[in-house]
Structure 1
């Protein structure tokens, strides 16, 4: 696939404090440029949530209330996140979740489209026993040698891993429109309207 013709695209990942609805404790946004993850232009933020991080959430991502005590509140960095994500497509694993959480925190933001690597993987690799991120990374085995050292379940690592997974799967598609048809969940921004899906004819 010719990646140079892609629109502005950022792979995103968010981590929450375990509340319902969640408060953000970490956001990462990694641009894809010319078929590569551009770490030099990535955005990454730790956030002090208004409600405490639950013990369950802290066990998953390691971001405790003590770790986040000196981080900025969301209102202090929201404009930075909005600026980076403006006029762009986003991509995430189980993308509707990240889209919903980011939209709740950025009420005036709307992405141009939402690519979901979970949906894309089901179209690209049918009949796998699992489509969780760990299972897909084991199946695809992308190069993660340059992934952030913080490890899984941190937003920066997961965004990088998701970006490599996305780029590996694009080898199975000839055009951006084909990728969109396979990867954008119905009802989310960027989803093809009826009659717009690419066909063989």
Structure 2
């Protein structure tokens, strides 16, 4: 399993300015661990100046990336290493997947450790990469190696410890399935019912939340409605041509 983290100079398809990776490996007995040797980071030339707004997040300077290769030249060697990976992983993987397209990754399977954390540790109050780190304090995580935050390798290293613990608790196939769905939020994130478990939300309010603009809120509300028997979780699609009666 290869955990990926990107730092970017903007939202364009090639605006990556750093990629970091940390592998999680399985031993003969089936136990997963964070590799001590298979990790790294590379600067990437984003082909554009890095704005102060993004520098303030990751502190990467233009002069550091000026002579680095471009994203299309860096990505394949990291995303498709000589030793094939079972899957790629990232915390809130949708962000990394915007840049690590199927063409660059070889159509790799992805695991989102944010979506999986919602399921494996629903009791946690917050689910950002660093909050999960300090709420759980994963065994074996070397504090200094996970710093500075918001740099590609330290963040990938931290995420790898979350992934390791997930893999040792839940089947890989389950993590992949959860990652393919919207996030199942353990509590209502906004509004009058903020902080409540979905089971404590009244039917009318739940129906309103099931129409929310946020896909994770909708999915979570729909899941609870399905549990109550109110409606199927996935509404049937409309036929391509209406039947004339």
TM over 0.5: yes
The aligned counterpart of 2:61 is 64
Closer/same/farther in 2, CA of residues 71 and 108 from structure 1, 3 Å limit: closer
Give how far 1:146 is off. Answer: 6.7
1:119 to 106, 115, 118: 115
Give how far 1:130 is off. Answer: 1.5
* Larger displacement relative to structure 2 (119-128 or 17-26): 17-26
Give the SS at the match of 2:106. coil
Closer/same/farther in 2, CA of residues 111 and 43 from structure 1, 3 Å limit: farther
Q: Could you report, residue by residue, the CA deviation over 1:110-135 in whole angstroms, capped at 9, with x for unpaired residues?
A: 34311111011100121433211121
1:47 to 44, 48, 51: 44
The aligned counterpart of 1:161 is 158
1:16 aligns to 2:26 (yes or no): no
2:81 to 79, 84, 91: 84
The aligned counterpart of 1:130 is 126
Give the SS at the match of 1:13. strand
1:177 aligns to 2:169 (yes or no): no
User: RCO higher in 1 or 2 (8 Å CA, sep ≥ 6)?
Assistant: 1
Q: Could you report, residue by residue, the CA deviation over 1:20-70 in whole angstroms, capped at 9, with x for unpaired residues?
A: 456010112222112122242324211121011111111111101122223
In structure 2, C-alpha distance between the alignment counterparts of 1:67 and 1:24, rounded to whole Å: 13
In structure 2, C-alpha distance between the alignment counterparts of 1:146 and 1:179, rounded to whole Å: 26
Correspondence 1:29-40 to 2 at 5 A: 29-34=21-26, 35-40=32-37
What is the RMSD of the two structures over their aligned residues, measured on CA atoms? 2.5
Q: Could you report, residue by residue, the CA deviation over 1:88-141 in whole angstroms, capped at 9, with x for unpaired residues?
A: 4101000111112111xx635334311111011100121433211121111110
* Structure label with greater radius of gyration: 2
